[in-house]
Amino acid sequence: MLLYGDVAEQYRDFAAYAAGDSATFEDWASAVAGDDEVLAWLARLPPVKQQPNLVFAAARWHGVAAPGPYDGLRTALLGDDGTIRATILRRATQTNEVGRLATLMPAFGLLAAPDEPLALLEVGASAGLCLYPDRWGYAWRTDEGVVELGDEPRLECRAKGPVPLPRALPEVAWRGGIDLNPLSVASADDTGWLETLVWPEHTDRRDRLRHAIEVARADPPQLVAGDLLEELPALVDRARPHGRVVVFHSAVVAYLEPADRDAFAELMAWLVGEGRCHWVSNEGKGVLPTVTATGPAIPADKPTFVLGVDGRMVAMTHGHGRSITWTG
């Protein structure tokens, strides 16, 4: 997904990204891209707040029906008395999609060692729901059949190519995260916002979210509020006594300013080079170009995430964890 830059192009890009996944969001984003009045309303927001996911969620938070017609969204935005705008300015896109664990698990498996547990550190952790890969089951659909791991509930994922599917759940000795505004699974307001961020038609994701919240409530992670560029090295060192540190993130770095994305990539390359941690990235193909450039060329019109391990592309993944295609 594009963020920053031309607003209409952002919404056209999001419409393509939503195609086949959400008829509502595909319709809304396409309509916004051609609606000069709504584009003018959006242009008065700070650039990072113009993103479709955030705007659509804020409108739904204040009663816009979804699934529902574009006219409902348009009327709400153009007639806003400042309420929707205030929510957009106060909140952030913190989706916390646990379905992505099905695409992250092969990367975790590559980094696991039989005699050393993992210490998982998530950048942009939101409520920390993705810090529990050991508390879920998995069902990967391959060309040879379904490969299952763990008990129900299982996260389902289409696996293409020679994906190194793990044979055991990881041993996790420590789980923590960093976020500018960590959410709490103990807060009804925070968990309600997380539910609103789930796309309208995605009942399965909504059900997973509710289960993930219960998992985190039973064993809360250590979440730190702060700027990742400032706090991450110290947090890595805090995790190191507990096991093999794996810093990971999924659909997070896209929300940084372009210069900060570069700074983050340089920071991670330095931490990996120093032997202080491993790095698993899962971002849109254009978000970390130094990672994407290490893999096969991706067509310009193909929406995909790129899964990276220690700065090298290993797979293409669906943004909500529905599929993984191994590139090696």
* pLDDT reading at 1 higher than 70: no
Average pLDDT on 19-31 reads 96
Q: Where are the domains positioned within the chain?
A: 7-90, 98-326
* pLDDT reading at 18 higher than 60: yes
pLDDT in tens, 254-280: 889 889 999 999 999 999 999 999 999
Type of residue found at 28: W
DSSP string covering 209-265, please?
Answer: HHHHHHHHHHS--EEEES-HHHHHHHHHHHHGGGSEEEEEEES-GGGS-HHHHHHHH
DSSP 94: -
* pLDDT reading at 192 higher than 60: yes
Residue 10 and residue 51 in contact, taking contact as beta carbons nearer than 8 Å: yes
Which is more confident, 115 or 327? Answer: 327
* pLDDT reading at 3 higher than 80: no
Determine the Cα–Cα distance for residues 249 and 246; give it in Å rounded to an integer: 10
| Structure tokens given for 77 | 């935005």
pLDDT of 227: 93
* pLDDT reading at 79 higher than 80: yes
CATH 1.10.3470: does it fit domain 98-326? no
Rounded (10°) angle between helices 23-33 and 70-78: 50
Type of residue found at 47: P
pLDDT of 4: 62
Cβ neighbors of 71 (< 8 A, separation 6 or more) are none
pLDDT of 255: 85
Could you tell me the pTM of the whole model? Answer: 0.89
Cβ neighbors of 201 (< 8 A, separation 6 or more) are 21, 22, 23, 24, 67
Average pLDDT on 153-169 reads 97
Cβ neighbors of 198 (< 8 A, separation 6 or more) are 95, 205, 206, 209
pLDDT in tens, 40-68: 999 999 998 999 999 999 999 999 999 99
* pLDDT reading at 291 higher than 70: yes
pLDDT of 230: 93
311: left (phi over 0), alpha (psi -120 to 50) or beta: left
Q: CA dist 59 to 11, 40, 46, 91, Å?
A: 16, 17, 17, 12
Facing residues of 237 across strands?
none
Sheet holding 323-326, edge to edge: 145-149, 137-142, 154-160, 323-326, 312-317, 305-309, 278-284, 244-250, 118-123, 172-179, 222-225
Alpha carbons within 13 A on the beta-carbon side of 18: 24
pLDDT in tens, 103-124: 999 999 999 988 899 999 999 9
DSSP string covering 172-194, please?
Answer: EEEEEEEESS---TT-HHHHHHH
Which is more confident, 165 or 303? Answer: 165
17 pLDDT band, cuts 50/70/90, is confident
